[in-house]
Amino acid sequence: MIEYKKSNIKLWSRLGSCGAFGFAANELAQTNDNVLMVTSDLCFYSGLDRFKSQYPNKLFNVGIAEQNMVGVASGLANEGFIPFATTYATFASARCADQVRVNMGYMNLNVKLVGLTAGLSVGILGPTHISIEDIAIIRSIPNIVILSPADCTETVKATIAASKIDAPVYLRLSGPMNNPIVYTDDYNFEIGKAITLIEGKDISIIATGTMVYNSLKAAEILKEKYSICASVINMHTIKPLDKNAVDMACESNLIVTVEEHSKIGGLGSAVSEYLSEKTNKPPQLILGLSDEYKHAGSYDYLIQQYGLTPEKIADNILKKYKNIER
């Protein structure tokens, strides 16, 4: 049994999302015989070294061959196993998009595809390795559940939750090592059910992944400096979208979505698509990565460049908020 105690929460944060995933994988191997790991030469990087030494027969490293990895995982899934297949998010979504589409989408096979280093955390490696389009690609494929945990504790919870549903899942892991902590205690995680972290009547900030933490900080700035009350909602499941949470957000004067992903096709688009069906709704501001590949740089540098620091998020929200008629 995993204990959600302070020391573990700190440890997972220090390890980063990959390490937290590896921790959860070990837990799963102890509790579910059918859980297997498949990786394309990223065993160590996926935090699976301990898993490999403890369960050598439950891990298949197929080499640098992502298309084959998804096919192999799909074959395992069809025989009743629960394979987690790990590679960089950009390769998981773009390199083997057709395998993901045919096997996980069309055939609905119970594969858990793990996208490592989604967003900008490996920014210095350049645009081949950052992943700003993965949600857009996978969200357009029917049947695949998309999970985007807010911190490393939620990564552990999402990994375990993914193993328990009979559905293909894309698990989007983002953020750097020493990942900021959103959850300092145990809490209830349910796939498809967003979590309101703070209440606020003026603005609803719907965030996902690493941007949950930055949005909490942005909400603090709005409150302290401008007396604007913003709620912050952790939309950890991007598909299926928690429509009730969006309905509730419509009671405020502005909906803001924040994500470490392209503004095209991600959480902002998902919320916007749902809002387009509604008549009574506030305006929406989509904050995320602009539609461009920026110069390679460190995580903090790129977050700054793309305007996703708490300060810049607060600034952009304020600008929009001042201009809406109430």
Partner 1 sequence: MIDNNLVKKCKEASKRMRINAIKMTHNVGNVGAHIGGALSMIEIMSVLYLGVMKYDIKNPLMEKRDRFILSKGHGVIAQYAALKEAGFLTDEDLLTFKQNETQLYAHPSMNLKMGIEFSSGSLGQGLSLGVGTALALKQKNNTSSRIFVLLGDGECDEGSVWEAAASANHYQLSNLVVIVDKNNLQYDGQTKEILSMDPLEEKWKSFGWKVLSINGHSEKDLLTALNSNSNVPIAIIANTVKGKGVSFMEDNVLWHNNRLTENQLIQAMEEQED
> Where along the sequence are the contacts to partner 1 (CB under 8 A)?
36, 57, 60, 62-63, 65, 67-68, 70-81, 83, 98-99, 102-103, 106-107
Of residues 96 and 116, the one with the C-beta less far from partner 1: 96
Min CB(16)–partner 1 separation in Å: 29
Tokens (6 digits) for 121: 């955390």
Of residues 61 and 305, the one with the C-beta less far from partner 1: 61
Min CB(249)–partner 1 separation in Å: 38
Min CB(37)–partner 1 separation in Å: 12
Min CB(85)–partner 1 separation in Å: 10
Of residues 104 and 203, the one with the C-beta less far from partner 1: 104
User: From the CB of residue 139, how many other CB atoms can be counted at a distance below 10 Å?
Assistant: 21
Q: How far apart are CA 237 and CA 179, in angstroms?
A: 19
Of residues 77 and 114, the one with the C-beta less far from partner 1: 77
Instruction: Please check whether residue 145 is in contact with residue 169, taking contact to mean a CB–CB distance below 8 angstroms.
Output: yes
Min CB(81)–partner 1 separation in Å: 6
Strand partners, 257: 206, 286
**Three-point CA angle 35, 41, 45, nearest 5°:** 80
Q: How far apart are CA 221 and CA 226, in angstroms?
A: 8
69 to each of 74, 80, 149, 289, how far by Cα in Å? 8, 17, 23, 29
Of residues 25 and 254, the one with the C-beta less far from partner 1: 25
